[in-house]
């Protein structure tokens, strides 16, 4: 509907300007009639050549010779129609009829005494208009064809983008769906350890786990979630882990996000935090530690996670960092393309993850 209104507006504007040019030397009624007649011919030539010939012979069938032949025929037909139509307005443009008014001839005689203006009336009606009309039709045909081919390419590109977007959304949903059981698997392992030791913390951990699962089930189905809720989820997860380790004070969690009303994809941060506990020495060695810093700056979200680890040991084995990290890398590429930075460094028994990506201002922006 919007495209139709645009086309109507363009033809209306062209009709107006053509009327203004004719109104300089014609009565207003004749100027309106001439403008409407002329624009009608232009519009007919434009749509038939672009949306009939180009669509049928170029876009669909790829018949280039037939397109050229039919285009030439169309230009000739419209040139004839143009001359015949303009012949209905003998008072408007004498060059199209060959009949010049006496006032015009007298004026030519006064301006050029040596010329005989009566020779102008010997022209056959309409003869001078065929070639200009044909050239005008060729120009219109060329513009309409280019416009139609551009529109077709734009449509194909749009369909390709939509297809890619649907494919990416399906992949994102698949990758995100794998995070939930992965998280639940790790947490149940922790809970199993507490029940074996008959710890009183097991019941409290079950309660906190239910709150965390509520977020996973009801909130993470959205493409984007509020920054505040995602941070609360990470905070709750860390609290769950603190209950099973001997030195929870070795975990430092710092949040300095001023724009908590923004939105980020859910469960992007969890795999990195999970790996601190799964592959690091925190909870396995007394000296194990973990530091997590989250902040925002100039519309971007910053996440830096460090933890102790020991290479080639069961407690700190980082080889094959798990399904979570593989999935989150794929999600980052699908969601942000190249507009994110992820750095993973292992150095001197320290494992560090640095991630930054833009914060979305609207929930529907993705």
Q: Work out the pLDDT band at 243, boundaries 50, 70, 90.
A: confident
Query: Quick one: which H or E segment has residue 142?
Result: helix 127-196
Q: Where are the beta strands (DSSP E) in the chain?
A: 225-226, 251-256, 263-264, 290-297, 300-308, 341-347, 350-358
- Residue-wise pLDDT tens digits, 309-345: 887 554 444 444 556 677 788 888 888 988 999 999 9
Instruction: Tell whether the model's pLDDT for residue 174 goes beyond 70.
Output: no
Whether the pTM exceeds 0.85: the reply is no
In the chain, the domains with their CATH numbers are: 2-159 (no CATH), 200-358 (3.30.565.10)
- Residue 358 pLDDT: 95
- Specify whether the CB–CB gap between 157 and 67 falls below 8 A: no
Average pLDDT of the segment spanning 190-210: 70
**pLDDT of 7-59, one tens digit each?**
899 999 999 898 888 777 777 887 888 888 889 999 999 999 998 999 989 98
H/E element holding 105?
helix 102-111
């Amino acid at each position: 509907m919007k495209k139709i209104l645009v086309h109507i507006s363009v033809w209306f504007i062209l009709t107006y300007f053509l009327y203004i040019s004719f109104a300089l030397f014609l009565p207003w009624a004749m100027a309106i009639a001439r403008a409407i007649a002329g624009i009608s011919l232009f519009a007919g030539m434009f749509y038939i050549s672009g949306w009939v010939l180009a669509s049928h012979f170029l876009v669909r069938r790829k018949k280039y010779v037939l397109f050229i032949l039919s285009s030439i025929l169309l230009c000739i037909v419209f040139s004839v129609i143009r001359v015949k139509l303009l012949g209905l307005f003998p008072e408007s443009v004498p060059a199209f009829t060959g009949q010049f008014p006496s006032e015009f001839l007298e004026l030519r005689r006064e301006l050029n005494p040596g010329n005989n203006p009566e020779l102008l009336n010997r022209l056959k009606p309409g003869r001078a208009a065929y070639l200009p009309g044909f050239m005008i039709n060729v120009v219109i045909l060329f513009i309409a064809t280019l416009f139609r081919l551009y529109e077709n390419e734009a449509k194909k590109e749009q369909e390709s983008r939509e297809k890619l977007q649907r494919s990416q959304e399906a992949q994102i949903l698949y990758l995100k769906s794998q995070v939930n059981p992965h998280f639940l698997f790790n947490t149940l392992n922790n809970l199993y350890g507490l029940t074996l030791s008959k710890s009183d913390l097991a019941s409290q951990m079950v309660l906190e786990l239910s709150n965390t699962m509520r977020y996973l089930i009801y909130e993470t189905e959205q493409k984007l979630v509020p920054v505040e809720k995602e941070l609360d989820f990470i905070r709750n997860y860390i609290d769950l882990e603190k209950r099973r380790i001997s030195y929870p004070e070795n975990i430092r969690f710092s949040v300095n996000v001023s724009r908590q009303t923004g939105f980020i994809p859910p469960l992007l941060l969890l795999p990195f935090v999970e790996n601190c506990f799964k592959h690091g020495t925190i909870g396995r060695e007394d000296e194990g530690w973990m530091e997590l810093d989250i902040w925002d700056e100039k519309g971007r979200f910053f996440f830096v996670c460090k933890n102790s680890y020991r290479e080639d040991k069961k407690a700190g084995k980082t080889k094959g960092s798990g399904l979570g990290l593989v999935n989150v890398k794929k999600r980052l590429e699908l969601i942000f393309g190249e507009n994110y930075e992820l750095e993973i460094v292992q150095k001197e028994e320290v494992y560090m993850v640095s991630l930054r990506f833009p914060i979305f201002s609207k929930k529907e922006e993705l």
